[in-house]
């Protein structure tokens, strides 16, 4: 597989550190609010990457953190802690806020059918973070000020390391995104540990060798990724915003502590999701959640199909019309698959039964793989799916076989079982009732139930002995 590596700034062939294995770390959510569709685009990218690696036969180890402490509002070292801020907003403790939105995150992962990473919470790894800061201190990379312990970028460079290599922003060298803090030796230095301010009561704070307080935002990712994946590992994923300071800081902390370079071989960054051509944000009222989509009749899979229509390295523009387009396309695809499936089951003239077309099937498989292996070209892979289902040289069985296999990567719930699961309970009950009436020869009753089902937005089709239900 070839992947664009933000560190080397080119597409490279993926060669894991250990043959046949891939360790992946994804920066997870700060759990202070509901996740929005921009966040989800980034988590779907992590999922796609892991699915692709699995498909290609790699044994994967996928770890994701939950930031439940210490992420300051400005993304620098100043401002309020996002969790403590959420607690004030909701009149609860920071612990309750973290719990509530971690739950929302897990539910969202489930709704979107994402593979489960090993989820690790920052607050469960305070000890590891303190140990890491101690290591950095021993090597001369940390110094204490009146408000915290900071990473010393100047000393880091003096000892022969490069700081900010990954960053796209030249300004990182001048520390543009880092708030000016007069106590720091250099503008680029960043907090490893912050002391609890005397003026403010915090819900989350811990004792440390330097004083009571809480970890800086970046240290958790270094501590937890290395704990679970080793000092050096293969892949690190996150949104493009993290490339400017968070990830360069992770590199500095980890390489500084272990002396091993590179900390991570391949850095994969997903471009942002825009809404109506611009930035999305709470204050703009366009930071839509999965619930907002559900309220307008869109399923999480409609959103996922929409994501797949764009390449992960290009910004993608969300509009309700575009989502509608994705929904329609996904429904058309599902209908096709259901028809293929029912033809097969009903044996009513489906094109199965002839000699197998192994060569043709193999050619499709190569086409699909070629797209995935070219830096996760999912729009290209979707185009292959559509061409394949229309190919007259393939039998129905062969088509279904390919779809089921490819859906391991696409994760669109295209397997028959999953599609049936998406039909609401009340519709399923009506379909069963209708089948019973038909068996008893009560055709009028069966017809009126068909109308009821249609009113709920579904259509029943009788194919041979099978009854198939699809969304209208």
* Minimum CB–partner distance for residue 78 and ligand AMP (Å): 17
Contact 411, 381 (CB under 8 A): no
Quick one: 271 or 428, whose CB is closer to ligand AMP? Answer: 271
Question: Using CB atoms within 10 A of its CB, is residue 394 exposed (0-12), middle (13-18) or buried (19+)?
Answer: buried
Nearer to ligand AMP, 298 or 364 (CB): 298
Near Zn ion in 114-133, by CB under 5 A: none
- 69 interacts with Zn ion by CB under 5 A: no
Contact 414, 403 (CB under 8 A): yes
Within residues 212-231, the interface with Zn ion by CB under 5 A covers 221
221 binds, among ligand AMP, Zn ion, none (CB under 5 to 8 A by kind): Zn ion
Per partner kind, with CB cut-offs from 5 to 8 A, the member of ligand AMP, Zn ion, none near residue 38 is: ligand AMP
**Could you write out the DSSP letters of every residue in 398-464?**
HHHHHHHHHHHHH-S--SHHHHHHTS-HHHHHHHHHHHHHHHTT-HHHHHHHHHHHHHTTEEEEEET
Among Zn ion, ligand AMP, none, residue 30 binds (CB under 5-8 Å by kind): ligand AMP
Decide if 44 contacts 415 (C-beta within 8 A): no
- The DSSP output letter for 271 is P
In angstroms, the CA 267 to CA 251 distance is: 11
Closer residue to Zn ion in complex, CB, 50/221: 221
Taking Cα atoms as reference points, which of 126, 303, 349 lies closest to residue 220? 126
Q: How far is the CB of 39 from ligand AMP (least distance, A)?
A: 4
Angstrom distance (rounded) from CA 458 to CA 342: 17
Tell the smallest beta-carbon distance from residue 238 to ligand AMP (Å). 4
Of 62 and 306, the one with the shorter C-beta distance to Zn ion is 62
Q: Which residue is nearest to ligand AMP (CB)?
A: 239
Among 19-27, 68-76, 310-318, 449-457, the segment contacting Zn ion (CB under 5 A): 19-27
Closest CA to 241 of 135, 315, 146: 315
Q: How far is the CB of 361 from Zn ion (least distance, A)?
A: 41
Nearer to ligand AMP among residue 29 and residue 310 (C-beta): 29
- Residue 395 token pair: 């039998």
CB closer to ligand AMP out of 275 and 403: 275
Residue with tokens 């690190």: 236
The span from the CA of 102 to the CA of 96, in Å, is: 10
For Zn ion, the closer of residues 98 and 344 by Cβ is 98
Which of ligand AMP, Zn ion, none sits in contact with 342, Cβ below 5 to 8 A by type?
Answer: none
Q: Please report how close the Cβ of residue 250 comes to Zn ion at its closest, in angstroms.
A: 6
Cβ pair 306, 49 in contact under 8 A: no
Residues 6+ apart with CB under 8 A from 179: 74, 76, 77, 78, 79
CA distances (Å), 213 to each of 76, 125, 144, 210, in order?
16, 14, 13, 9
In whole angstroms, how close is the CB of 394 to ligand AMP at the nearest point? 37
Q: Which listed residue (24, 26, 27, 114) binds Zn ion by CB under 5 A?
A: 27
Pick between residue 212 and residue 314 the one whose CB is nearest to ligand AMP. Answer: 314
Find which of ligand AMP, Zn ion, none residue 275 binds, CB within 5 to 8 Å per kind.
none
CA distance 210 to 454: 67
Residue 280 binding partner per list Zn ion, ligand AMP, none, with a CB distance cut-off of 5 to 8 Å that depends on partner kind? ligand AMP
Letters for 231-270 (x = contact with Zn ion by CB under 5 A, - = none) are ----------------------------------------
Residue 236, phi then psi, degrees to nearest 5: -130, 130
Binding site for ligand AMP (CB under 6 A): 27, 29-30, 38-39, 41-42, 238-239, 241-242, 272-273, 280
User: Least distance to ligand AMP from the beta carbon of 228, Å?
Assistant: 18
Closer residue to ligand AMP, CB minimum distance, 143 or 272: 272
Compute the least distance from the CB of residue 216 to Zn ion, in Å. Answer: 12
d(CA 238, CA 232): 17
Name the minimum Å distance from CB 103 to ligand AMP: 15
- Spell 361-372 as b/e; 16+ CB within 10 A means b: beebbeebbebb
Euclidean distance between CA atoms 134 and 183, whole angstroms: 20
Instruction: Compute the least distance from the CB of residue 297 to ligand AMP, in Å.
Output: 23
Minimum CB separation of residue 310 from ligand AMP in Å reads 11
- Per partner kind, with CB cut-offs from 5 to 8 A, the member of Zn ion, ligand AMP, none near residue 418 is none
Smaller CB distance to Zn ion: residue 219 or 384? 219
Size of the site for Zn ion (CB under 5 A): 2
Q: Are 189 and 274 in contact (CB under 8 A)?
A: no
- Sites of contact with Zn ion (CB under 5 A): 27, 221
């Amino acid at each position: 597989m070839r992947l664009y590596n933000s560190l080397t700034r080119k597409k490279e062939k993926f060669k894991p550190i250990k043959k046949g294995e891939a360790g992946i770390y994804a920066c997870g959510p700060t759990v202070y609010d509901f996740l929005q569709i921009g966040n989800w685009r980034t988590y779907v990218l992590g999922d796609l990457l892991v699915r692709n690696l699995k498909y290609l036969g790699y044994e994967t180890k996928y770890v994701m953190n939950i930031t439940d402490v210490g992420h300051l509002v400005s993304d620098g070292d100043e401002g309020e802690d996002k969790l403590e801020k959420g607690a004030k907003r909701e009149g609860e403790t920071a612990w309750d806020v973290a719990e509530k939105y971690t739950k929302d995150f897990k539910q969202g992962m489930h709704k979107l059918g994402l593979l489960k990473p090993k989820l690790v919470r920052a607050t469960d790894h305070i000890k590891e973070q303190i140990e890491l800061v101690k290591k950095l201190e021993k090597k001369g990379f940390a110094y204490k000020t009146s408000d915290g312990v900071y990473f010393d970028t100047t000393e880091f460079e003096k000892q022969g390391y490069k700081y900010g290599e990954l960053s796209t922003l030249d300004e990182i060298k001048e520390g543009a995104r880092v708030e000016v803090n007069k106590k720091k030796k250099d503008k680029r230095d960043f907090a490893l540990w912050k002391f609890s301010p005397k003026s403010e009561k915090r819900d989350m704070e811990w004792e440390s060798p330097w004083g009571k307080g809480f970890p800086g935002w970046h240290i958790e990712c270094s501590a937890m990724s290395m704990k679970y994946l080793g000092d050096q590992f293969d892949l690190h994923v996150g949104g493009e915003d993290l490339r400017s300071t968070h990830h360069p800081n992770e590199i500095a902390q980890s390489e500084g502590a272990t002396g091993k370079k590179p900390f991570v071989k391949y850095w994969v960054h997903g471009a942002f999701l825009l809404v109506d051509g611009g930035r999305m944000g709470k204050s703009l009222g366009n930071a839509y959640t999965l619930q907002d989509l559900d309220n307008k009749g869109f399923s999480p899979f409609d959103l996922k199909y929409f994501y797949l229509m764009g390449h992960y390295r290009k910004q993608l523009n969300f509009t309700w019309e575009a989502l509608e387009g994705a929904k329609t396309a996904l429904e058309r695809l599902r209908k096709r698959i259901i028809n293929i499936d029912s033809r097969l089951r009903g044996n009513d003239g489906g094109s199965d039964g002839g000699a197998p077309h192994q060569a043709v099937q193999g050619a499709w498989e190569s086409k699909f793989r070629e797209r995935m292996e070219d830096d996760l070209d999912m729009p290209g892979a979707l185009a292959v799916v559509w061409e394949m289902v229309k190919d007259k040289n393939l039998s129905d069985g062969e088509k279904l076989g390919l779809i089921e296999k490819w859906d391991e990567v696409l994760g669109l719930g295209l397997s028959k079982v999953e599609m049936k699961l998406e039909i609401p309970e009340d519709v399923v009950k009506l379909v069963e009732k209708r089948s019973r009436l038909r068996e008893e020869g009560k055709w009028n009753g069966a017809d009126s139930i068909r109308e009821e089902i249609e009113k709920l937005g579904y259509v029943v089709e009788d194919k041979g002995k099978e009854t198939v239900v699809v969304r209208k």
